[in-house]
Amino acid sequence: MKRRTAALWGGAAVLVTAAAIWLWPRGNTVLHLGVFAGSYWGTPNGSSYQVLDDAIARFEEAHPGVTVEYESGIPVDEYSEWLAGHLLVGQEPDVFFVLPEDFGLLAETGALAPLDSLLDSADGPDRSLYYDACLQAGQYNGSQLALPYESAATVMFVNRTLLEAYDIPMPENDWTWQDLYAICQTIAAAQPDSANRDYGLYGYTWQNALYANGSTLFSADGRQCYLASDSVQAAIQFTQQLADLDNGYTVTAQDFDTGHVAFRPFLFSEYRAYQPYPWRVKKYSSFVWDCLRMPAGPDGDNTSELHTVQVGISARSRHRDLARALLCALCADTTTQSELFLQSQGISPLRSVTEDTALLDRIFDETQGTSTFNSATIGEIMRTAAAVPQFAAREQALAMADTAVANALANNQSLVTALPTAQREIDLYLQNTG
């Protein structure tokens, strides 16, 4: 009887196991991931899915029974609309990439699940792993709603060939507004009265300048504008002084591309994309060029504006724990981030990856590499970078500020009197739309 009972129990166990395998097959849980094709930075990237596929493969191996699926081929400029459409009908992915311009609206509408408990847990990524500005890009009303995946800071492109033609030495990375102005003034003063002129600067705006002067245009929550602050006014006045050197001529991108401009702000991703061969000979091939940190204002530092692509979790995801694990696999895993740093054109938000000497040596071996902009500079750029406040009304508020500044300068109005009025209008708009 004992042998029969044992046999019966054994047979039942086999049947239960078989039923479980039949009813709960491998791959039963599907996580949906929202991602765009190509590079957000608008630079060449022939293997945009390789890093993602490798990370997914490692994740699925560590989580048997879970499959990660994503829709491929969504262009960057169509991704926001694609994500909004899925959110509207409640079919958004469990985990999805968040473009910088979309974060404010996604945060305000409650589309993103809070991640504070993940960061505060023993098995979650520690906040200290990330550069401060990268992490700040995903914060809203004091809560972390997304984790940084890839960043790009604004740097200053330098036409070294043009500087050498005027016997101007290459500036150091701790250069200032005064240094920039002196160089632009030297180039302007040496120009003949001809159409084939050289210019000091293209594309440097008062918004570039205000970050380097220790300021910001909006509060982190997007409720207040600082257009009339002394540091912002100083940034506007400085860029106007630079523009006055061109005697009314509007410098163009073509002027820079053809080698007639000394400086131009660009994202670091442009440097990564176009320094290595063969891209170097396809763009800016008529002159030798390099990069510097942004010039420091009198009240600031060599601070760069930082743009960050992030990843968040849907507030309606039914697989919250697995979604968090996938999020960490993308944004906190050093293997994923190292591969991304090598293959993409951005900068990893993880300190340990971006400041890994071996990785940086591999990256800079592919570039021309100079003593003025090298691997040691990147960590300093990221440590001092400024995150741009993102909120739903930002684009309209920024347009209002731009218009107010342009009108004041065009009509020779005093910034001291014109900007406070504009600031009050923008504050009212922010309060009414908040």
Per-residue pLDDT of 307-320, as tens digits, reads 999 999 999 999 99
Q: Do 370 and 425 sit in the same domain of this protein?
A: no
Number of domains composing the chain: 2
Q: Work out the end-to-end distance of the chain between its first and last CA atoms, rounded to an integer number of angstroms.
A: 76
**CATH number, domain with residue 418:** 3.40.190.10
Which pLDDT score, from 0 to 100, does residue 193 have?
Answer: 67
Let me know: does 303 contact 386? Beta carbons within 8 Å.
yes
Co-location of 383 and 311 in the same domain: yes
Domain assignment present for 3: no
Q: If DSSP codes are grouped into helix, strand and coil, which group holds residue 217?
A: coil
Q: In terms of domains, do 165 and 216 share one?
A: yes
Percent of the chain whose predicted confidence (pLDDT) is above 90: 70
Q: Is residue 283 part of a domain?
A: yes
209: Cβ contacts below 8 Å, ≥ 6 apart: 177, 235, 236, 238, 239, 297
Whether 285 and 405 map to the same domain: the answer is: yes
pLDDT exceeds cutoff 60 at 12 = no
2 pLDDT above the threshold of 60? no
Domain shared by 311 and 300, yes or no: no
Contact 285, 120 (CB under 8 A): no
The answer on 160 and 133 residing in a single domain is no
Same-domain check for residues 344 and 225:
no
Query: For residue 310, what is the enclosing H or E element?
Result: strand 305-313
This prediction's pTM: 0.86
Higher pLDDT: 220 or 236? It is 236
Summarize the confidence of residues 370-382 as an average pLDDT: 73
Residue 187: name the closest of 134, 231, 116, 242 by CA. 242
336 with 427, same domain: the answer is no
411 plus 335 within the same structural domain: no
Mean local confidence (pLDDT), 99-126: 94
366: Cβ–Cβ under 8 A, 6 or more apart, which residues?
275, 276, 277
Residue 244 pLDDT greater than 60, yes or no: yes
300 and 400 assigned to the same domain:
yes
In a domain, 8, yes or no: no
**pLDDT value of position 281:** 39
Residue 22 has pLDDT above 80, yes or no: no
Is 358 buried (19+), middle (13-18) or exposed (0-12) by CB count in 10 A? Answer: exposed
Residue 48 has pLDDT above 70, yes or no: yes
Domain co-membership, 418 together with 283: yes
Assess contact for 191 and 198: CB atoms under 8 A.
Answer: yes
pLDDT band at 344 (very low <50, low <70, confident <90, very high): confident
In a domain, 11, yes or no: no
2 within a domain of the structure (yes/no): no
Domain holding 404, by residue range, is: 154-304+390-433
In a domain, 16, yes or no: no
Kindly state the tokens that stand for 203: 């594309």
What is the pLDDT averaged over residues 354-380? 73
Does 139 reside within a domain?
A: yes
* Dist. CA 420–CA 136, nearest whole Å: 28
Query: Does the pLDDT of residue 277 top 50, yes or no?
Result: no
Assigned token pair, 191: 């120009």
Q: Does 263 share its domain with 297?
A: yes
In this structure, the number of other CB atoms found within 10 A of the CB of residue 227 comes to: 26
The chain-wide mean pLDDT, for the chain, equals: 87
Give the confidence band of 9 by pLDDT, cuts at 50, 70, 90.
Answer: very low
Q: At 241, which amino acid appears?
A: Q
Quote the tokens at residue 265.
């702000």
pLDDT value at 354 more than 80: yes
In a domain, 414, yes or no: yes
Distance CA 173, CA 17 (A): 66
Q: Which of 288, 296, 342, 311 is nearest to 161 (CA)?
A: 288
